[in-house]
Structure 1
Amino acid sequence: MQSSARAIVSLRSLALASVAIGGASWLALAATPASAQQQLAYAGIDATGSEEVATDSGDTDDTRSSRKAARARNGGRGNQGGHSARGVGSGVRTRVQPYLELTQNLLAQLKPGNDVVTYTAIAAGVDVALDGRRTQGAVSVRYERRFSEKGRYGSGDTISGLARVKHDLVPRTLSIEAGGFAGRTRLEAGGGASLGALANNDSVSQVWSVYAGPNLSTHVGQVAVGANYGVGYTQVQSPRRQLSVPGLAATDLFNHSVSQSATVSAGVRPRVIGPVGLTASAGWAQEDITNLDQRVREYRAGVQATLPISLELALVGDLGWNEVTVSSRDALRNADGSAVIGSDGRYVTDKSKPRQLAYQTRGLTWDVGVMWRPSRRTSLSAFVGRRYDSTTYYGSFSYAPNERSNLGISVYDGISGFGSSLNNAVKQLPTDFETTRNPFSGDISGCANGSSGGGCVNGALGSLSSSVFRGRGVNATYAHRIGRMQAGIGAGYARRKFIGAAGTVLAVANGTVDENYYVSAGLSGPIDRRSSFSVGAYDSWYKNGRSTLADVNSYGVTGSYSRELAERLHGTAAVGLQGISRKATPDELVLTGLVGLHYSF
């Protein structure tokens, strides 16, 4: 049985993680694992007042469980399909799997016409898994080049990938974390977007997002002291065209942003100065968005109290002060007063005009909650509070009854731009994640699972609008290994309430609400010693707050078969059906197929 303090650490960590997906709050923007953040506050102290002893290896029980499960998934071999390397960190076992692919692709349009597209694609990629005492992480990167042969679309290239790596520079004291996302998303009228992009489409955008930062956790006597800093960068490339609907102005597509955050904290365990553990903390977060010089800035200071009820249960309360401001400039205007739009389809910022305030709140905030962790495999947290001039709810649930299955649910709330929202979604993925790819486009699935949980980036990618927003929602993932087969499902809901300054071009979006619902599922496994299969399906719904004519439903199902032809060489075949339903424009339905070769080094 784990100590109550470690339970407090992990449970409160899950709560912080759930907030982080949604926005730029002082808790959410720190580029650090949530567990590291909370160790700053509670320092791994148990309810009896005794301090846990750090091991020389820097392992935690959760880390050891994660590595054990990862090795189990790899048949106990650890470096299967790759090679070992010691350069990353002490005791690091690395699995590296580079590969090349050559495919012949067919897209047959069933709706609204009968266009047929054929193209050849060449792809190179690498999958890396880091499993060590001081380094944990996963990287999956792929570059694909398409050569058109027939039809309107085909030629082009894309990079897709997902990464999250954590390395302990000094065990249990100083660590550094980095991660990123690259993928294509289809832009719809009104700013809606989804990862289920058809392989060839003029409205497809390339999205990039990376983050990095150090985390410090140490003790000064009986006081746990910590600090962290994080910086992230996100960019969205302009598509060749934007879809439009009657009566709805074109969306100002997000360009790029830089997000930063820093937090410091100092605290003592329960029974040092009283029956409760006390932590004082302060933080700052900011996102600077290129579009119209938008800026989200937040300051936060507060005191948190933790009261252990039992070895498994604790109550947590927080009282603090918070200030949030959102500001921007207006667009450059023509002589007739209309906004000037640049060659990239975005508004041109009027640098000569002063910054205008779009949103501001300051004053006292509070949060109360309960955290329950009966074992290392089950965690529950639930919090309610007052923030952003309204009631806020957030929490999480994690359940891994064995090494073959895990369930994770998180509820979040925060104010941010598109960039920090995507950064934070990537941060919440497990370091030993496994993700699937669309066999036709090569793009990754929006959800990924690891040995101790999972996460989704679909909610963060639900809209490509440049406007700052308050985001609320829920994510859920479940993974289960059935014999040698692996099944997984991810689902969620994201709600964005946009913020725009009065008297600017963003005012039209102020107060409008967009909603996204999404689900994706997959099943894969071996058929015999030389062949395997994979099937997947996704569905997403986007509801536009300005016009129901911009509502979109995108869906798809794919199936693939792979057979070993020679050592390291596999033949592949796949079929799929992908569709889009719209109100203002014709529906699309495309039948896809491919055959190809996959060579692993």
Structure 2
Amino acid sequence: MTLPNGAFSARTTCSAIALAAAATLALPAAAQDRQRRADIAPYIEVGQVLTGDLSGDDVLTYTRVSAGVDASVQTRRVQVAVSYNYEHRFAYEDDLADSSVHTGVARAAAMVLPGFSVEGGAVATRARADIRGDVPGSLIGNTSNVSQIYSGYAGPTLATRVGPANVNAGYRFGYTRVEAPGVTGAPTGQPPIDFYDDSTSHLATASVGVRAGAVLPVGLTASGAWEREEAGQLDQRYEGRYARGDAVLPVGRGLAVVGGVGYEEIEISQRDPLRDSSGNPVTDGNGRQVTDPASPRRIAYDIDGIFWDAGVIWRPSTRTSLEARVGKRYGSWSYTGSLSYQLGRASAIQVGVYDSVQSFGRQLRNGLASLPTDFRPISDPFNSGYNGCVFGTSGSAAGGCLPGVFQSIATANYRARGIDAVFAINRGPLRMGLGAGYSNREFIAPDVGSGFSVNGLSDDTFYAQFFAGQQVGAYGQLSGNLFVNYYDSGLPGSEGLFGWGANTAYSHSFGRLGATAALGIYGVGQAAEADNSVAAQALLGLRYGF
């Protein structure tokens, strides 16, 4: 059943808050936890925004009215972090349209019984639709090539012991929905690409293992997984399963050699688009390709066989962990690894190197699951959305970054390879975060022999983001953001595109009432051209907290 956009948005964007509320209320015993820490801050805001194109003469202004909540509940059995904002923009000029925007992120985990927990996450944000199209430096004003995204996942996790063995199992259900972008700004004459619609995914995992020295000098683990995803565009389907065994051999203080071997099967398929008399794909009112019901199922990727990897694990202390592996998978060399270092009670560094076959929906689900359950929202005065990094506030969970997912909303599956690094510092009144990374996607699609196919094409993204916030006196808060992104697509006719931006804001509290003043500057353009677009923005706003 298809719902109007407004009805869908209202229902879906409430999922982040509903998820956190459900986890909070699931365990009445948590209310009696002596270590309970709960901060729930609903608010309403009114602001006036001025935006001017420094490369031209356009100056636009609008009023924004928003409502939201920032919440954190941290106990021994329940961890919840939510930041959600609904904003409506009232324009004064014909050149600027009224709009509604949902932005938010939530993570929650609740221990139902010892060893058995339920967790979930949700996000509402906006991101680029077509990697060949415009690069919005800021997501305010009449931005093109932007789609609203809603995504969430939830499921149970089991972690227990049976004699000397550690037993783990888990299940995650994921759902992702993307609204059509409208104008993308892709170069004229380029072949059209399909727009993402929605997808559902299922992931089940299980493992059993014994640590080194418990039974044998070598630690052994057997694990397996099954995953299935069904996407709305062209009846796309992914199904994968694998089983593997791993061994860990300690060779020194905190140092071990690791190795694993496994067998996997992956199949990706879809149907053809319906074509008109001229052979062009038929699209619906949102620009999405219509599936041909008479088409046979086309195989885009079909692989089965043995894979392996080997490497080292180094854990010299409880604050430091390093793992690096190299092996053969997906028909070529594969490199993966991770680094975690806790500098202090609430400051840490995390680095991850990944290589896997993904889709936009599955990679977003996994990215949500990697975010910490204890974070404070980044103070972005212009409410650009959660398409960057989220920084943790406790322990070794430095946070997580999503630009590798949000570089563009791809409809095809792809092999995702890259590196993400996050650095978070929380020391008294000072908060700082740095995120940077690189992502490569090699697309997987049927080679139909006629028409345009993205099969075998790839794109690259480089990104960096810096955030800092400082308490000023008893009632003031100064914050700033810097970011830069570079996109290089292998699609025909594409050129390297980059976007950068910086903003700063000062907020002052007068009890429940607060005031904010902010300035920002953003630039976008092609790497090969000197004539790029630069825009400046200013904001004055009032917030009332309940």
Give me the TM-score of the superposition, normalised by structure 2.
0.89
Task: Check whether the contact 2:48–2:540 (CA below 8 A) recurs between aligned residues.
Answer: yes
User: Distance between the aligned counterparts of 1:481 and 1:261, measured in 2?
Assistant: 34
Say whether 1:146 aligns with 2:99: no
1:133 to 65, 71, 76: 76
Deviation of the 1:553 alpha carbon: 0.8
User: Distance between the aligned counterparts of 1:516 and 1:372, measured in 2?
Assistant: 30
1:250 to 192, 197, 200: 192
Deviation of the 1:244 alpha carbon: 2.0
Deviation of the 1:196 alpha carbon: 4.5
Residues 1:86 and 1:438: Cα distance change in structure 2 (over 3 Å): same
Deviation of the 1:343 alpha carbon: 1.2
Task: Check whether the contact 2:190–2:493 (CA below 8 A) recurs between aligned residues.
Answer: no
Residues 1:518 and 1:279: Cα distance change in structure 2 (over 3 Å): same
Deviation of the 1:530 alpha carbon: 2.4
SS in 2 for 1:426: helix
1:353 to 284, 287, 295: 295
Q: Where do 1:445-594 residues align within 5 Å?
A: 446-450=388-392, 451=394, 452=396, 453-481=398-426, 484-503=429-448, 508-547=453-492, 549-564=494-509, 566-582=510-526, 587-594=532-539
Task: Check whether the contact 2:247–2:259 (CA below 8 A) recurs between aligned residues.
Answer: yes
Deviation of the 1:87 alpha carbon: 6.8
Deviation of the 1:274 alpha carbon: 2.5
1:169 paired residue number: 112
User: Distance between the aligned counterparts of 2:131 and 2:439, measured in 1?
Assistant: 18
Deviation of the 1:480 alpha carbon: 2.3
User: Distance between the aligned counterparts of 2:276 and 2:169, measured in 1?
Assistant: 48
1:339 to 281, 288, 293: 281
Say whether 1:429 aligns with 2:371: yes
Deviation of the 1:362 alpha carbon: 0.8
Residues 1:192 and 1:288: Cα distance change in structure 2 (over 3 Å): farther
RCO higher in structure (CA 8 A, sep ≥6): 1
Q: Where do 1:42-81 residues align within 5 Å?
A: none
Task: Check whether the contact 2:134–2:184 (CA below 8 A) recurs between aligned residues.
Answer: no
User: Distance between the aligned counterparts of 2:465 and 2:94, measured in 1?
Assistant: 29
SS in 1 for 2:363: helix
CA deviation map 1:71-94 (0-9, x unaligned): xxxxxxxxxxxxxx9675662432
User: Distance between the aligned counterparts of 2:475 and 2:465, measured in 1?
Assistant: 27
Q: In structure 2, give the amino acid aligned to 1:312.
A: G
CA RMSD after TM alignment: 2.2
Q: What percent of counterpart residues are identical? A: 38
User: Distance between the aligned counterparts of 2:86 and 2:516, measured in 1?
Assistant: 18
Q: In structure 2, give the amino acid aligned to 1:157.
A: S
Say whether 1:110 aligns with 2:60: no
User: Distance between the aligned counterparts of 2:94 and 2:536, measured in 1?
Assistant: 14
Deviation of the 1:154 alpha carbon: 4.2
Residues 1:315 and 1:384: Cα distance change in structure 2 (over 3 Å): same
Task: Check whether the contact 1:259–1:286 (CA below 8 A) recurs between aligned residues.
Answer: yes
Residues 1:445 and 1:388: Cα distance change in structure 2 (over 3 Å): closer
SS in 2 for 1:509: coil
Residues 1:443 and 1:154: Cα distance change in structure 2 (over 3 Å): farther
Aligned residues: 514
Say whether 1:399 aligns with 2:344: no
Deviation of the 1:269 alpha carbon: 3.1
SS in 2 for 1:275: coil
Structure having the larger proportion of residues in strand? 2
Say whether 1:209 aligns with 2:154: no
Residues 1:87 and 1:256: Cα distance change in structure 2 (over 3 Å): farther
User: Distance between the aligned counterparts of 2:371 and 2:420, measured in 1?
Assistant: 12
Residues 1:550 and 1:169: Cα distance change in structure 2 (over 3 Å): same
| Worse-matched range after superposition: 258-267 or 119-128 | 258-267
Residues 1:199 and 1:246: Cα distance change in structure 2 (over 3 Å): closer
User: Distance between the aligned counterparts of 1:409 and 1:455, measured in 2?
Assistant: 9
Q: In structure 2, give the amino acid aligned to 1:104.
A: Q
1:123 to 46, 66, 72: 66
Say whether 1:365 aligns with 2:310: no
Deviation of the 1:220 alpha carbon: 2.9
Q: Where do 1:169-318 residues align within 5 Å?
A: 169-171=112-114, 173-188=115-130, 190=132, 196-318=138-260
User: Distance between the aligned counterparts of 2:413 and 2:494, measured in 1?
Assistant: 23
Task: Check whether the contact 1:107–1:590 (CA below 8 A) recurs between aligned residues.
Answer: yes
| Worse-matched range after superposition: 160-169 or 529-538 | 529-538
Deviation of the 1:226 alpha carbon: 2.5
Q: In structure 2, give the amino acid aligned to 1:345.
A: G
Q: In structure 1, give the amino acid aligned to 2:511.
A: E
User: Distance between the aligned counterparts of 1:224 and 1:469, measured in 2?
Assistant: 33
2:8 paired residue number: none
2:266 paired residue number: 324
Task: Check whether the contact 1:189–1:550 (CA below 8 A) recurs between aligned residues.
Answer: no
Deviation of the 1:359 alpha carbon: 1.2
User: Distance between the aligned counterparts of 2:544 and 2:483, measured in 1?
Assistant: 28
Deviation of the 1:315 alpha carbon: 2.2
Residues 1:582 and 1:153: Cα distance change in structure 2 (over 3 Å): farther
| Worse-matched range after superposition: 456-465 or 333-342 | 333-342
Task: Check whether the contact 1:192–1:542 (CA below 8 A) recurs between aligned residues.
Answer: no
User: Distance between the aligned counterparts of 2:103 and 2:470, measured in 1?
Assistant: 23
Residues 1:540 and 1:495: Cα distance change in structure 2 (over 3 Å): same
Q: In structure 1, give the amino acid aligned to 2:53.
A: Q
